[in-house]
Chains A and B, each alone.
Chain A
Amino acid sequence: MEVFLFYTLAAILVVFAIFTVTARNPVRSALYLVSALLGMAGLFFLLKAEFVGAVQILVYVGGIMVLFLFVIMLVSVREVQGERRANRQWKTAVVLATVLSVELIFFVVGGADVFRTEAVKQGVITQIQTANTQNVGQMLYTNYLLPFEIASILLLVAMIGAVVLARKEL
C-alpha cells in the first residue's frame, strides 16, 4: 500500500513539475505547480512528517501560490506567451541543473546511509518520534523560543520595508 501510494504521488509530482516548466501559459504553469506541491505534501505525509506536509499545503499551496497567481494575473500575460522558451540564462540553468542532479544521484545511490555518521549511530538522533506536530510545537516554544520570537520581528521589518518602498508618499 505504501509503495503504491509513493509511486502514485511521485508520478504526480514529476509529471506536474514537467508540465510546470513546459506550459506556455503562466497561469496554467502556476496551477501545475500547485498540483506538484500537493504531491510533495503527500510524500511528506507518507514519511510521517505530517507537520511539514501540512505546512507545505498551508504556506506553499495556500499562501505563496495565491500570491504567484495574483502577480501573474496583474502583469500582462500576452507578452510572456510570445517569448522564446529558452532565454539568455539557459547556460546558468544547465550548470545549476547539472550540479543539483549530481547531488541528487549522490543521495539516491548513498541512500539513508549518507547521513548515518558516528553522531547518529551514537544515538544523538535516536528515533523518529510519533507525535510529530506536538513535538515541533513544544520545541518551538521551548528550545527554539528565541529564534521564533526574532522571526516575528523579522516579519514586521519585512512588512515595514514593503510599505516604505512601495508607498507613493510617506
Chain B
Amino acid sequence: MPEIPQIDNLWEFFRENSAAIGPQLQLIIWGLGILCVDFLIPAQKKGRGAIYALGGLFMASIHLYWFWGISPGPAFYNMVTLDFFARYFNLLFLAAAFLTVIMSYRYLDIEDEQHTEYYALILFATAGMMFMAGAIDLVSLFVGLELMSISTYVLVGFLRSQKRSNEAAMKYFLLGAFSTGIILYGMSLLYGLSGSTNLNEIGRQIVGLENNTLLVLSLFMMMAGLCFKIAAVPFHMWVPDAYEGAPTSITAFMSVAVKAAAFSIFFRIFYLAFGDVREIYIFALAVIAMVTMTWGNVAALTQDNVKRLLAYSSISHAGFVLMGLVAGTDFGVTASAIYLLAYTFMNLGAWSVVILLRRQDIPGETLEDFNGLYFKHPAIAVLMLIFFLSLAGIPPLAGFIAKYFVFAAVLEVALSSGEAHSSLMVWVAVVGALNVVVSVYYYFRIVVSMFIRKDYLPAPLSFSAGLVVVLVITGLFTVLIGIYPEPFISLARAASLSLT
C-alpha cells in the first residue's frame, strides 16, 4: 500500500496541481454554467446554448495555448498529466467539439429538439475525453472514460421522438456498459498483479510476467473492452445501428472524437504500460486490425443508407489506425496520431454534408438523396468529392498522408533486421493495401450519384452560416494536411515522443 500523503493547504494544493486539468476545468465550469442559465433562456431560443458552449471551448483552447510550451507535469498525485500527447489529443477533441457544436445548431432546429442540455453534454463529454487523454492512472482513466461514455449515451438518444434514436441509445448503452465492465475487470486483475494503479508503475512491475495466466487474461479483457470503444471487429455490432439512429451531428462527433479518445487510452495502456510484454498481444492485435479493415469495407459495399455506409467506413478506418499500434514503435504512434487528426477533419466534413442534405421532410440519408447534387450545388458536391477522395486515401489529400504514414510505420518494422514479426507486419500491410482499393469503390458509389445521376430532389438544402463555416474549415484542413503536412507531422511526432 503506498504512503498516504497529507494535504495541508487545500488552496495551495489546488493551485499547484490545477494547471494540468485547466482545459477540463474550463469545460466543466462552462457546462455547469449552461445548465444554470438555462432557465433564463426563453423556450424558443434554447439554441443560445451553442454560443455558451463555443465560449467554453474557446476558453479551454486559450488555457491549452497558455500551457502549450510549459507542460505541467503529473498532478494530483500522479493521476493526470498534460504532456504533449495529452495536449495533442486535447487539441483534436476541441476541434471536433467546436465543429460539432457549430454544425448541430441548425440540425437541432430542423429536428425540433433544440435544448441547452445538448451543448452542456457535449462539453462534459469533451472534458471526459481530456481526462482520458491525460490519465496516467487506471482510476482517473476509468472515470474519464465513463464521463465521456455516459454523456454520449444520452446524446445518442437525444431525438426522443424518434424510435430509431431511442433504439440506438439503448443498444449503445447496454453494450457500452457491458464493455466497460469487461475493461474494469481487466483493470482489477492488473491491480492485483502489480499492486498499483499507476500506468508507469504497472509497466515496471509486469516485466517478466509474460507467462502469467492472469496477466494474459487481464490484457485481453482490456483489449476487448477498448476494441468495443474504438469500434473494431468483432466488437462492432453496435456501430451501424448507433450511428444511424443518433442525431447526425452526434454521429459525426462519435466517429471522430469518441474514437480518438478511446485510441488515446489504447496507446497509453498498450504502448506505455504493456509495451514490454508486446509478445502476448501483438498477434491478436494484428489480426483484429486486419479483420476490422476488411469487414468494415466489405459490409460498406452494399449499404444504401449513407449514414450506415459511413459507419462501416469508420469501422475500417479504426483498423487502419490500429496498424500504427501494431507496428508498436514511436513512428507507429506518430502515424496513428496523424491518422486520427486527418480523419477528424475529413470525416467531420463528410458528415456535415450529410447534415446539409437533411431537409424538412427528407432524411437525406439514402443514396438517391445525393442524386444530381453536382448540377444544383457544384461547390458542395466538389467538397464531398474531396472528403471522399481523402477518406479513400488518394493523394494529395490528408487521408493519403495518414495512410502513407501507417503503412510506412508497419513496413519499417517489417524490414528492420532482427524483427521477429516481420512476416506478420507484411501481411498487415498487404491486407491494408487491398482494403484501400475496396474502399474506393463504395465512396465512388456516392460520387457517381452526385455527378452522373440527374434526378435531383427539388427541396432546398438546409444551408446555415455555421455549416458553411464547418465545411470551409474541414475542407481547408483536409487539403492543407495533404499538401503541407510538416507542421502536423511534427506535432504528432512530439506527441508520440512525450509518451514515455
Q: Which residues of A contact B (CB under 8 A)?
A: 103, 106, 114-115, 117-120, 124-127, 129, 135, 138-139, 141-147, 150-151, 153-154, 157-158, 160-161, 164-165, 170
Q: What is the CA–CA distance of A145 and B142 in the complex, to the nearest angstrom?
A: 14
Chain B nearest CB from A65 CB (Å) reads 19
Q: Are the C-beta atoms of A124 and B139 separated by less than 8 Å?
A: no
The verdict on B144 contacting chain A, using a C-beta distance below 8 Å, is: yes
- Indicate if the CB atoms of B117 and A143 lie closer than 8 Å: no
Contact B208–A135 (Cβ < 8 Å): no
Pick the contact of B193 from A119, A126, A160, A164 — CB < 8 Å?
A119
- List 27 interface pairs A-B (beta carbons < 8 Å), by A numbering: A114-B192, A117-B193, A119-B195, A119-B196, A129-B1, A135-B4, A138-B4, A143-B2, A143-B4, A143-B77, A144-B139, A145-B77, A145-B79, A146-B76, A146-B79, A150-B131, A150-B144, A150-B147, A153-B147, A154-B146, A160-B117, A161-B121, A164-B115, A164-B121, A164-B154, A170-B115, A170-B117
B214 at the interface (CB under 8 A from A): yes
B21 interfacial contact with A, CB 8 Å: yes
Asked if A124 contacts B195 (CB within 8 A), the reply is yes
Q: Is B416 part of the contact surface with A, judged by Cβ < 8 Å?
A: no
Interface of B (DSSP majority class): helix
Minimal Cβ-Cβ distance residue in A for B124: A157
Instruction: Report chain A residues within 8 Å CB of B205.
Output: 117-119, 124
Q: Which of B117, B124, B154, B213 contacts A153 (CB 8 A)?
A: B124
Known: A142-B5, A160-B35, A160-B154. A124 touches B196 (CB 8 A): yes
Residues of A within 8 A of B128 (CB): 150
Select A115's contact among B35, B160, B193, beta carbons within 8 Å.
Answer: B193
Contact B150 A157 (CB under 8 A): yes
Chain A residue at minimal CB-CB distance from B194: A119
Which single residue of chain A is at the shortest CB-CB distance from B79? A146
Residues of chain A within 8 A of B5, CB atoms compared: 142-143
Report the Cα distance A127→B76, complex, angstroms: 25
Measured between C-beta atoms, what is the minimum distance from B377 to chain A in Å? 34
Which 4 residue pairs spanning A and B have beta carbons closest together?
A161-B154, A124-B195, A146-B76, A119-B205
Q: How near does chain A come to B475, taking the closest CB pair, in angstroms? A: 33
**Chain A residues within 8 Å of B35, by CB:** 160
Question: Which one of A135, A144, A150 has the highest number of Cβ atoms from chain B below 10 Å of its Cβ?
Answer: A150
Binding site for A on B (CB under 8 A): 1-2, 4-7, 21, 28, 35, 75-77, 79-80, 115, 117, 120-121, 124, 127-128, 131, 137, 139-140, 142-144, 146-147, 150-151, 153-154, 157-158, 160, 169, 192-196, 205, 208-209, 212-214, 217
Q: With A and B bound together, what is the CA distance between A150 and B144 in angstroms?
A: 7
Residues in chain A near residue B79, CB distance under 8 A: 143-147
A146-B150 contact in complex given A115-B214, A138-B4, C-beta closer than 8 Å: no
A153 near B28 with CB under 8 A, answer: yes
Q: Given A120-B195, A157-B151, A158-B150, are A146 and B21 also a contact pair (CB < 8 Å)?
A: yes
User: For residue A114, which residue of chain B has the nearest CB?
Assistant: B214
Complex alpha-carbon distance, A147 and B187, angstroms: 15
Residues on A with C-beta less than 8 A from B121 are 157, 160-161, 164
A49 to chain B, nearest CB (A): 13
Tell me if B147 and A157 are in contact (CB < 8 A).
Answer: yes
Closest to B77 in A: A143
Beyond the given A154-B146, A157-B124, could you list 12 further A-B residue pairs with CB under 8 A, ordered by the A residue number? Answer: A114-B214, A117-B193, A117-B194, A143-B4, A143-B5, A150-B131, A150-B140, A150-B143, A151-B143, A153-B124, A160-B120, A161-B151
Q: How far is the CA of A126 from the CA of B195 in the complex (A)?
A: 10
Cβ contact within 8 Å between B214 and A139: no
B4 touches A142 (CB 8 A): yes
Is A147 a contact partner of B143 (Cβ separation < 8 A)?
Answer: yes
Q: Which residues of A contact B158 (CB under 8 A)?
A: 164
* Interfacial chain A residues near B140, Cβ < 8 Å: 146-147, 150
B270 to chain A, nearest CB (A): 20
Minimum CB–CB distance for B174 against chain A, Å: 13
Q: Which residues from chain B contact A158 at a C-beta distance below 8 Å?
A: 150
Q: For A129, what are the chain B residues with a Cβ–Cβ distance below 8 Å?
A: 1
Report Cα–Cα, A119/B192, bound state, in Å: 10
CB nearest to B114 among chain A residues: A170
Bound Cα distance A135, B154 (Å): 36
Give the chain B neighbours of A138 by CB distance below 8 A. Answer: 4
In the assembly, what is the distance between CA of A170 and CA of B131, in Å? 30
